[in-house]
Amino acid sequence: MRFDIKSTSDWKPFFTRSFARSLPSIQPEALRYINSDPNGARDIQEKIENMLKNRIMKWRSRYITRWNRHCTQIMRKILPVLEENLGKPPDAQHLSELEKQFSTYKVSGFPINMPFTGLDYITERVYSTGVHAHETSDVEFALAVYVHAYPNSIASVWVYVASLIRLR
């Protein structure tokens, strides 16, 4: 075998002057974007939060699971700021508010950002953090979810999960 591409006896060129047909492009002439639905994002957000709370209680079925609503409210304020700042840490005001409010607790947790691809994926990511794995009843949990909708049904999901143990 010879691989001399300059020799027409070895290779037949596909595009020649006698080949007059042109191939059409498979790319669409105009890209069309579908606007995001803020109500749909809120519905998904509530569904994810309820599902995760139920899962955490199921994973801790031997223990009472208490929810700290105050911490959850603070985390709900922080999540949109994280999305707006593309994951950069929130400003010092938000962090100092967390520290001031929860100085009597040992807080362990963090925000997670992921694309919305399905509820199972989100559940696996939260489970893999192990935040739920405290084998005691004197722990409180906080969970906040924020969904930011982008065009063409793309959603950025933020989940902030934390455990709080009161310092003695």
Residue with tokens 């609503």: 69
**How, if at all, do strands 66-67 and 139-150 pair?**
parallel
Q: What pLDDT, on the 0 to 100 scale, is given for residue 19?
A: 63
Domain count, the chain: 1
- The CATH number of whichever domain residue 93 belongs to comes to 3.40.33.10
Residue 50 placed within a domain: yes
Q: What pLDDT, on the 0 to 100 scale, is given for residue 6?
A: 78
Q: What percent of the chain has pLDDT over 70?
A: 88
Residue 31 placed within a domain: no
Angle between helices 119-129 and 38-59 (to 10 degrees): 50
Closest CA to 75 of 51, 49, 55, 50: 49
The boundaries of the domain holding residue 106 are: 38-166
First-to-last alpha carbon distance for the chain, in angstroms, is 82
Q: What pLDDT, on the 0 to 100 scale, is given for residue 41?
A: 92
Residue 140 placed within a domain: yes
Spatial separation of the C-alpha atoms in residues 86 and 101, rounded to whole Å:
25
Q: CA angle at residue 71 from 70 to 76, to 5 degrees?
A: 100
Q: What pLDDT, on the 0 to 100 scale, is given for residue 81?
A: 87
Q: What pLDDT, on the 0 to 100 scale, is given for residue 124?
A: 95
Residue 25 placed within a domain: no
Residue 48 placed within a domain: yes
The residues, any chain, with a CB within 8 Å of residue 143's CB and separated by 6 or more, are: 49, 52, 53, 56, 67, 72, 75, 159, 160, 161, 162
pLDDT band at 103 (very low <50, low <70, confident <90, very high): confident
Partner residues linked to 144 by β-bridges: 160
pLDDT in tens, 20-53: 566 777 888 888 889 988 899 999 999 999 999 9
Residue 5 placed within a domain: no
Spatial separation of the C-alpha atoms in residues 149 and 35, rounded to whole Å:
9
pLDDT in tens, 51-90: 999 999 999 989 989 999 998 998 898 899 889 887 676 6
